Amino acid sequence: MKSIIYSLMGLLIFLAACNTLEDRPSDGAILSASQLTVSVVQNPAGSNSVKLVNTTKDIIMFWDWGSGTGHSASSKDTVAAYLPFKGTYTLRFTAFCAGGTVTDSTTFTIAQNDDAYFDTDPAWKGLTAGGAGQTWVWALDIPGGIIGGNGPENCPSPAWWTMDASSGNSWLNFNDAVYMDLNGAANFSHIAGDGSVKKGFFTVIAPYVNGGVSYSAIQVLNGPSFPWPTGAGGYSGVRYHFTVMTADKLSVHDYGQYNIGMFKRKGFNY
C-alpha cells in the first residue's frame, strides 16, 4: 500500500495527518477511532472523483491536505477531490471531540489514470514519454557544444552568455539527471552522479506566454529540481518553462526568465 504525495494546483494532493493536540478528558469523553464514521464515496467504484464524508455526531472533522509546499485543511463534513492518477491512497483524518482529538485513516483506490486529463497540456506526456517514464540528461554532445547560458525567454537555446562542458561540473552538475513519470503520481526525481536520488513531484502550471506563443511550464514540489543551482543568481529553482520539447530534446528555462539548460533523452545521440 502506498501513500501518494503530490499536488496539481488544487486537484493533485497527498493526504497526511495533522499532529494530535492535547487531550482533555475532564471536558468530556474522547471517542475511539472505531467510533468515527467516515466514508469514501466514488461513483462508479474506482472513479477519479472522490467524496469524503463524515457522519460522526458532535465532532469537528479535520481533513489535512498537504500540497508539498505547505498544508491546508478543511473542517467540513464533506469534501471532494479529483485525482487523475491510478493507485491506492491512504487518507488520514482527525476528529475534534469534547475531550480531545483522535486520528484515524482509511484507504481507497483509483482504478485508472484519466488519460484525457493528461492531454490538457503537452507537458504531462511530453516530459514523461507518454506517462511511462523518461530520463533527461545534459545534452553534452549537442552540435556546437553549447549546453547552458542565457538568452531571450522564448529562445530555443542560449543566445547571449553561453557555456559548454568546460564550464565545470561542480557548478552545473553535468553528471546529474532528471526522471519523470505519471505512475501513480506526477513523479519527479533528481538523480545525482553518485547515484543518490531526491524524489518529489511536479505539477503543470500556467504556460509562459511570450509574443502570443504559450510555452508549457511546470512546478516541482518536495525538494528536487533540474540539475543546476537553486535559489541563487536569479534561478527560480522549482519552476520551469520549455521552449523546445520533443521526444529527444528539451530546452529548459527558469520560468519566465532567460536562464537556459539544454537536455536530451537518455540514450539519444545527436
- The type of residue at 90 is T
| The pLDDT of residue 257 is above 80 | yes
Contacts of 161 (CB under 8 A, 6+ apart): 149, 150
Q: Which helix (H) or strand (E) holds 111?
A: none
Give the highest mean pLDDT range of 23-32, 82-91, 178-187: 178-187
| The pLDDT of residue 233 is above 80 | no
| The pLDDT of residue 65 is above 80 | no
pLDDT of 186-209, one tens digit each? 999 999 988 999 999 999 999 999
| The pLDDT of residue 171 is above 80 | no
In this prediction, residue 174 carries a pLDDT of 87
- The type of residue at 28 is G
pLDDT band at 13 (very low <50, low <70, confident <90, very high): very low
The Cβ of residue 24 has, within 10 Å, a number of other Cβ atoms equal to 12
| The pLDDT of residue 133 is above 70 | yes
In this prediction, residue 187 carries a pLDDT of 93
Residue 244 has which C-alpha cell?
523546445
Give the mean pLDDT of 56-85.
66
pLDDT of 35-58, one tens digit each? 888 888 988 988 988 888 888 888
CA angle in degrees (0–180, nearest 5) for 247-190-171: 100
